[in-house]
């Protein structure tokens, strides 16, 4: 492994580690950010491999541990993994669909030391949820799982990814999350990678719909007993890109099921050779690998990022988004109005209006469906 010319940088240790225990998933969400073939990733990490990753990450200074997938509850070692994380004094967060959960698993996870559950709930409406997830059992199973989480005394975070199919339901979704006794609700306008990008014409809301949704959220926040509601605005309607992952290789470390280490969940869509934790220590991965150092600092930047006075705020935006939309991973994020490729984004917005009846493509392609067929 070799480090590039960023040796001079003061690299801080990772604070947040995400274990993607498997890429198997019972759902086929139309907005999934993962690469189109992500389910082909092999579950090559043993329980001892995951233990070593946690041990080394904690020793390095990481304090929060996310447990995700695919669907992490499908990993038979999940209780032992949570127990090890708790023994290491990690703050643990399970990110789950709640679908296909083994009976009694919530109590076992609570007893093992799990602190928080982030549950994806796509709608208050069963038909809409079925449309988005392509799973007819998802609604019923999620409701049972949410109750088990609260009965166990765990913190429940409801996460709702917003698309054209459910954006008009934002007010109802807020009330629904409150009825589940959620500690807070995150309404996340999706990022367009992987299946989401493939389905963008069927999913991307209009600016008017986003404005209405924001108004609903603000109206709810005025209530005295308001649950905390966070609204994540989509990149495509912003003037400037977000500081993706708080900067490449600065805070977040993801380990996927075959042991590949990534600075974000979708980084393996880039033409970089990422290290594998089955062959390298976490310290080597974080500090010494060429891939993790590639976008640290600003020496990689092209114009307009190189001389932009905001480059220390947004770090040039998202590398995965730049590559997905331009084919050039060193390019400025096209959502930025300063980008010479910004017209790609404005065209995507226009196409989503022009071709609004595009079919929704699922991994099980024979079930792909036009939104108009269910309206």
Q: Does 244 belong to an annotated binding site? A: no
- Are 232 and 189 a contacting pair, CB within 8 Å? yes
Using alpha carbons, list the distances in angstroms from residue 71 to 114, 119, 122, 230, 344: 16, 11, 16, 24, 33
Q: Does 25 belong to an annotated binding site? A: yes
The values of phi and psi at residue 254, to 5°, are -115, 135
Q: Could you give the angle at the alpha carbon of 176 between the alpha carbons of 175 and 179, nearest 5°?
A: 90
The residue whose two tokens read 């792909």 is 368
DSSP 152-219: TT-EEEEEEEE-TTTGGGHHHHHHHHHHTT-SEEEEEEPP--HHHHHTHHHHPPPHHHHHHHHHHHHH
CA 347 to chain centre: 25
Length of the chain as a residue count: 375
126: left (phi over 0), alpha (psi -120 to 50) or beta: alpha
Q: Does 29 belong to an annotated binding site? A: yes
The residue whose two tokens read 């949410």 is 146
Dist CA 111 CA 79 (whole Å): 9
- What 3-state DSSP class applies to 342? helix
The values of phi and psi at residue 273, to 5°, are -95, 100
Tokens of 81: 């993994």
Handedness of CA 246, 249, 251, 257 (dihedral sign): positive
Residues in the annotated binding site for [4Fe-4S] cluster: 25, 29, 32
Residues in the annotated binding site: 25, 29, 32
């Amino acid at each position: 492994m070799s480090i590039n010319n960023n040796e001079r940088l003061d690299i801080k240790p990772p604070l947040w580690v995400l274990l993607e225990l498997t890429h198997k998933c019972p759902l086929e969400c139309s907005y999934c950010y993962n690469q189109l073939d992500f389910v082909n990733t092999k579950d090559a990490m043993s329980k001892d491999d995951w233990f070593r990753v946690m041990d080394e990450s904690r020793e390095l200074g990481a304090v929060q541990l996310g447990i995700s997938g695919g669907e992490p509850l499908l990993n038979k070692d999940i209780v032992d993994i949570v127990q090890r994380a708790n023994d290491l004094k990690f703050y643990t967060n399970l990110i789950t669909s709640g679908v296909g959960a083994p009976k009694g698993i919530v109590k076992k996870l609570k007893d093992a030391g799990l602190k928080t559950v982030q549950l994806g709930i796509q709608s208050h409406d069963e038909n809409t949820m079925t449309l988005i997830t392509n799973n007819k059992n998802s609604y019923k199973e999620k409701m049972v799982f949410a109750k088990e989480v609260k009965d166990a005394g765990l913190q429940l975070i409801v996460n709702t990814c917003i698309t054209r199919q459910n954006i008009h339901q934002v007010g109802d979704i807020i009330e629904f999350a409150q009825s589940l006794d959620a500690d807070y609700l995150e309404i996340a306008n999706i990022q367009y990678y992987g299946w989401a990008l493939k389905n963008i014409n069927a999913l991307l809301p209009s600016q008017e719909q986003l404005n209405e949704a924001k108004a609903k959220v603000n109206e709810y926040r005025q209530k005295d007993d308001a649950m905390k509601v966070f609204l994540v605005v989509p990149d495509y309607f912003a003037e400037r890109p977000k500081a993706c992952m708080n900067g490449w290789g600065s805070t977040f470390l993801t380990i996927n099921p075959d042991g590949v280490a990534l600075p974000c969940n979708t980084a393996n869509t880039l033409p970089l050779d990422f290290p594998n934790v089955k062959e390298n220590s976490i310290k080597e991965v974080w500090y010494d690998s060429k891939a993790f150092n590639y976008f640290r600092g600003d020496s990689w930047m092209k114009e307009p990022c190189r001389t932009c006075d905001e480059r220390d705020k947004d770090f040039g935006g998202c590398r995965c988004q730049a590559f997905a939309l331009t084919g050039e991973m060193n390019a400025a994020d096209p959502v930025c109005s300063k980008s010479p490729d910004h017209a790609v984004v404005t065209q995507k917005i226009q196409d989503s209006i022009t071709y609004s009846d595009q079919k929704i493509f699922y991994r099980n392609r024979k079930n792909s469906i036009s939104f108009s067929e269910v309206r």
